[in-house]
């Protein structure tokens, strides 16, 4: 007798186990599921097999070959399309000229198949469906038979009110070849939905044979784990490759070359299987677990109801409970993997990470050390232990940053705020920002927080409102300027300043532990509109400027609004000041936002040419969020961010002659030269935006700047504001009677060099230590990184806060000297990296 094994399914319900393997090849106690089926068929005298393949067929063919290694003969049939369970068998009709059996390649059963064949013969049936009784028949097809076993009714996934029997279709059939004549050639047909109901309608000899024994449909990861536990509990017997070995407790089975450390006795409880060449190094606790081939388990590891496939390495003191680890996985020290978790192939899990209950991780992911993974990781490449970069949460839209992620983050943020307080919420013009903002708001409301919704708004306007009254914090959603496919969520405190690292960590702690505040159903927060927010900004904006001086000069300016929300506000403000404004790219749409100038050279070139053609006073490029700005002088020359910083510092010093300016430690020393001439002071801060803005809150600060083209004038607000910077720049030009080009040409000549050196997180601390040791006899400052003063020159080594690089910066009055300095310290960093490895 022949048998057809159905082995072509995609196995989508059991993802991620079947991402890199077809479902019949999933290992069950270190042997493919289908091998257990083949051995069962052979046991009952069926050794001529037709395997129906479709998904990843070569993996199955390469393992089973012609079947001779397993004592059977195998013929492969691979349909070109998905023809359904019956349509696929029709493709093998030429091989089926006698009675045959059909069985699924992803079942685990110990049925006495001979009884089903004998029943079929006795009843002279055309088709016999093997049935069995289950406790919960609702998820299966229930089959009703009369006392002779003839089928009278099918119930496909019934409700409890329809369950007149607990006998279900097991997917094992005995058929006469003429049944295949009922299946149209090349058409999709299913046995349960099409062919058997047709036979029932025709009153054909369709019977059901009930068998006792173990039967499991391994349709999802829970069923897979349950089947493994049933084997360990002795509910079903299977063949093993491994041999029984002596053990102080439990049943131990060892493959060839597998061993437990000789000097340490690991605790073995229940059924424990170690595949070929696997090693337990030191004392571990092994309870009802399966370890595949070529695995290494270090000292102090606990495996309880765990399933490990091949080439898994688990470091010291980690715990895996009721989870599946697929092939080629690396697990660090003190990792905890909870019940129901599934880790797919080639994933690396860092030290002290926590994989929470029922989490599924798709193949080839990296989990950072200390991370807490509480949701499935499917599309992104990496799960970080920290979701914040400074005050920003950034992720691929609808991949890493999903609506459910945003709602959970909103609940975590709301949980740290006083109940019934208000949060200001805004976004850019992109639809994805609106989607995520609404999801986030739901999380806030669930924690009893009220939301003042500004809808689409330019970021400086939102931050300015936060400096007034009424809100404990603010949130802005935007398309990431660094990655258009990503969304940024920006968090601000009650003064419009980026939240502190302590606040970010507090939000993360609640997010990962899911320890949210849930208010009573009668007491969630509300959503309120804030109609006069632009009025507040407008009044303060004009009040902080010398409007008469600007109006008298009526400067002509070209502004590239870069499709940003600023386009709805800035042109009107400049017109009200008496400027002649030429607007570029002012249209705001849901699908188009601006791009950084480095990615849009054409737009920057257009801005420069129009400034020259129209003989404008200056040109301005606006960043998408309204914080970053680029300057073009009257000759069409585009200034770099550093040049813009020095030009604006020079204008402030010439116009004000008092107080101080704030710049980061990496800013050029020209700033000190300009300030000294005007009798002003310079305060240097960390490169962190929060540190710059915090310093700008001092009333004696006239101007603050970052290295990325973001500027603040505290006479209006201490936060970065490109809209106000445009107007203030025009005021300063008018008051000093200078042009941007004239100021630029009058700057002291200094040469500024900057390179990035690859430097992973693990080496940054060591590099900083070696830089400090190297500078022990030199004049050095340690505000942020290590800055060495070398007479009139200087060099700075600054590890990047988030990226795996170190910044090496140098400045000198001599261009060659600046290049030599930066190269010298670059080589030192490379040398120190090698020493630390």
CA 483 to each of CA 208, 709, 779: distance values in angstroms, whole numbers, following the listed order? 60, 18, 40
3-class DSSP state of 1: coil
CA 596 to each of CA 552, 593, 706: distance values in angstroms, whole numbers, following the listed order? 34, 10, 16
Residue 319 CB-half CA count within 13 A = 9
396 located within any domain? no
CATH number for the domain harbouring residue 820: 3.30.310.50
User: Which H or E element spans position 153?
Assistant: strand 151-156
774 located within any domain? yes
Residues 507, 576 within the same domain: no
CATH number for the domain harbouring residue 322: 2.160.10.10
445 Cα distance to chain centroid: 25
Which of 320, 355, 383 is the last residue in one of the domains? 383
User: Which H or E element spans position 395?
Assistant: strand 392-396
Residues 112, 246 within the same domain: no
The answer to whether the CB of 651 falls within 8 A of the CB of 740 is: no
- Cis bond upstream, residue 173 (ω within 30): no
Which of 383, 418, 448 is the last residue in one of the domains? 383
Give me the pLDDT at residue 595, please: 58
529 located within any domain? no
Closest by Cα among 300, 340, 304 to 321: 304
Give me the pLDDT at residue 485, please: 87
527 located within any domain? no
* Unique residue bearing structure tokens 């119930």: 155
Give me the pLDDT at residue 380, please: 64
Residues in CB range of 247: below 8 A, 6 or more apart = 268, 272
CATH number for the domain harbouring residue 201: 3.90.550.10
Residues in CB range of 331: below 8 A, 6 or more apart = 312, 313, 314, 315, 318, 320, 325, 337, 349
3-class DSSP state of 63: helix
The answer to whether the CB of 77 falls within 8 A of the CB of 92 is: yes
The answer to whether the CB of 357 falls within 8 A of the CB of 339 is: yes
391 located within any domain? no
Residues 757, 693 within the same domain: no
Identify the domain containing residue 510 by its residue range. 401-514
How many helical (H) and strand (E) elements, i.e. helices and strands, does the chain have?
Answer: 21, 52
The answer to whether the CB of 39 falls within 8 A of the CB of 83 is: no
pLDDT digit string (tens) for 571-617?
999 999 999 999 999 888 776 655 554 557 888 999 999 999 999 99
Residues 406, 320 within the same domain: no
Residues 621, 767 within the same domain: no
Residues 144, 45 within the same domain: yes
Residues 16, 159 within the same domain: yes
DSSP letter (8 states) at residue 639: P
330 located within any domain? yes
Residues 494, 551 within the same domain: no
Give me the pLDDT at residue 597, please: 46
Which of 217, 250, 271 is the last residue in one of the domains? 217
The answer to whether the CB of 812 falls within 8 A of the CB of 818 is: yes
3-class DSSP state of 272: strand
DSSP assignment of 333-355: TT-EE-TT-EE-TT-EE-TT-EE
Closest by Cα among 803, 778, 783 to 825: 778
Residues 681, 545 within the same domain: yes
Give me the pLDDT at residue 795, please: 95
- Cis bond upstream, residue 16 (ω within 30): yes
* Unique residue bearing structure tokens 């604006």: 648
335 located within any domain? yes
| Residue 805: strand pairing partners | 758
Helices (H), 577-669: 601-613, 641-656
The answer to whether the CB of 155 falls within 8 A of the CB of 47 is: no
Closest by Cα among 310, 345, 339 to 15: 345
Burial 195-232, CB ≥16 within 10 A → b, else e: bbbebeeeebebbbbbbeebbbbbbebebbbebbbebb
Query: Would the CA dihedral through 179, 184, 187, 188 be positive or negative?
Result: negative
The answer to whether the CB of 795 falls within 8 A of the CB of 821 is: yes
Give me the pLDDT at residue 680, please: 95
Number of Cβ within 10 Å of residue 835's Cβ equals 10
Crossing angle of the two packed helices 815-836 and 761-774, in degrees rounded to 10: 120
Residues 588, 734 within the same domain: yes
Tokens of 689: 């935006």
Tokens of 337: 């993997």
Residues 593, 725 within the same domain: yes
Residues 489, 548 within the same domain: no
Query: Cα–Cα distance between 145 and 130 in angstroms, integer?
Result: 12
Number of Cβ within 10 Å of residue 396's Cβ equals 16
Query: Cα–Cα distance between 554 and 299 in angstroms, integer?
Result: 77
Give me the pLDDT at residue 140, please: 75
Give me the pLDDT at residue 225, please: 95
Low-confidence ranges of the chain (pLDDT < 70): 157-165, 248, 262-265, 379-385, 591-599
Number of domains in the chain: 5
392 located within any domain? no
Tokens of 646: 């020095």
Tally of residues, the chain: 837
Give me the pLDDT at residue 141, please: 74
DSSP letter (8 states) at residue 825: H
Query: Cα–Cα distance between 191 and 518 in angstroms, integer?
Result: 49
């Amino acid at each position: 007798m022949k048998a057809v094994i159905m082995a072509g399914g995609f196995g989508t319900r059991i993802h991620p186990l079947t991402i890199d393997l077809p479902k019949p090849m999933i290992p069950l106690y270190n042997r493919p599921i289908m091998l257990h089926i083949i051995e069962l068929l052979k046991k009952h005298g069926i050794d001529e097999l037709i395997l129906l393949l479709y998904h990843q067929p070569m993996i199955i063919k390469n393992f089973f070959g012609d079947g001779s290694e397993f004592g059977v003969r195998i013929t492969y049939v691979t349909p070109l399309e998905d023809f359904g369970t019956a349509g696929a068998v029709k493709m093998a009709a030429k091989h089926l000229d006698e009675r045959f059996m059909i069985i699924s390649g992803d079942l685990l059963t110990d049925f006495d198949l001979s009884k089903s064949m004998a029943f079929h013969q006795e009843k002279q049936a055309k088709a016999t469906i093997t049935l069995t009784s289950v406790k919960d028949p609702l998820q299966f097809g229930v089959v009703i038979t009369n006392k002779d076993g003839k089928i009278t009714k099918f119930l496909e996934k019934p409700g409890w009110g329809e369950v007149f029997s607990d006998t279900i279709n097991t997917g094992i059939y005995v058929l006469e070849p003429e049944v295949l004549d009922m299946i149209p050639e090349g058409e999709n047909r299913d046995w349960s939905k099409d062919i058997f109901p047709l036979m029932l309608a025709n009153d054909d000899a369709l019977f059901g044979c009930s068998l006792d024994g173990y039967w499991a449909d391994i349709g999802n990861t829970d069923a897979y784990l349950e089947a493994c536990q049933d084997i360990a509990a002795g509910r079903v017997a299977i063949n093993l490759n491994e041999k029984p070995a002596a053990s102080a407790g439990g049943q131990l089975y060892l493959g060839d070359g597998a061993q437990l450390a000789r000097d340490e006795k690991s605790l073995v409880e229940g059924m424990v299987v170690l595949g070929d060449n696997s090693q337990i190094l030191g004392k571990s606790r092994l309870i009802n677990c399966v370890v595949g081939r070529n695995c290494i388990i270090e000292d102090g590891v606990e495996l309880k109801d765990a399933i490990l496939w091949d080439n898994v390495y688990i470091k010291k003191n980690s715990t895996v409970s009721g989870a599946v680890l697929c092939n080629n996985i690396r697990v660090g020290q003190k990792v905890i993997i909870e019940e129901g978790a599934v880790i797919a192939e080639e994933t690396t899990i860092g030290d002290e990470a926590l994989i929470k209950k029922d989490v599924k991780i798709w193949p080839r992911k990296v989990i950072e050390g200390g991370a807490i993974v509480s949701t499935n990781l499917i599309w992104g490449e990496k799960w970080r232990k920290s979701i914040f970069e400074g005050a920003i949460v950034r992720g691929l839209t609808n991949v890493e940053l999903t609506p459910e992620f945003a709602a959970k983050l909103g609940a975590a943020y709301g949980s740290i705020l006083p109940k019934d307080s208000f949060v200001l919420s805004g976004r850019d013009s992109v639809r994805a920002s609106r989607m995520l903002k609404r999801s986030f708001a739901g999380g806030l409301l669930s924690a009893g927080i009220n939301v003042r919704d500004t809808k689409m708004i330019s970021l400086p306007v939102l931050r300015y409102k936060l400096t007034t009254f009424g809100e404990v914090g603010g949130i802005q959603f935007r398309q990431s300027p660094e990655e258009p496919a990503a969304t940024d969520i920006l968090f601000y405190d009650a003064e419009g300043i980026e939240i502190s690292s302590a606040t970010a960590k507090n939000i993360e702690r609640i997010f990962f532990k899911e320890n949210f505040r849930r208010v009573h159903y009668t007491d969630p927060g509300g959503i309120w509109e804030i109609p006069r927010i632009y009025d507040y900004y407008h009044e303060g904006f004009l009040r902080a400027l010398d409007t008469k001086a600007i109006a008298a000069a009526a400067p002509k300016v070209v502004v590239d609004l870069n499709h940003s929300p600023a386009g709805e506000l800035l042109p009107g403000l400049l017109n009200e000041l008496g400027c002649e404004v030429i607007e570029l790219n002012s249209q705001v749409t849901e699908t188009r936002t601006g791009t950084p100038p480095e990615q849009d050279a054409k737009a920057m070139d257009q801005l420069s040419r129009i400034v020259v053609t129209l003989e404008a006073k200056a040109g301005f490029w606006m960043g998408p969020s309204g914080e970053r700005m680029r300057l073009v002088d009257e000759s069409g020359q585009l200034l770099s961010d550093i040049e813009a910083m020095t030009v604006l510092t020079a204008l402030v010093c010439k116009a004000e002659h008092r107080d101080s300016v704030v710049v980061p430690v990496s800013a050029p020393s020209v700033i000190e030269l300009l300030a000294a001439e005007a009798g002003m002071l310079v305060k240097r801060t960390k490169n962190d935006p929060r540190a710059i803005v915090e310093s700008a809150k001092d009333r004696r600060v006239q101007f603050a700047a970052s290295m990325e083209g973001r500027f603040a004038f505290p006479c209006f607000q201490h936060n970065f504001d490109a809209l106000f910077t445009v107007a203030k720049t025009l005021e300063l030009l008018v008051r000093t009677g200078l042009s941007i080009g004239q100021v630029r040409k009058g700057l002291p000549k200094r040469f500024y060099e900057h390179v990035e050196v690859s430097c992973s997180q693990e080496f940054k601390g060591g590099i900083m230590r070696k830089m400090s040791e190297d500078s022990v006899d030199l004049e050095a400052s340690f505000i942020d990184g290590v800055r060495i003063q070398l007479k009139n020159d200087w060099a700075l080594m600054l590890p990047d806060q988030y990226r795996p690089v170190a910044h090496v910066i140098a400045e000198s009055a001599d261009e060659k000297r600046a290049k030599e300095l930066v190269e010298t310290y670059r080589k030192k960093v490379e040398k120190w990296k090698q020493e630390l490895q």
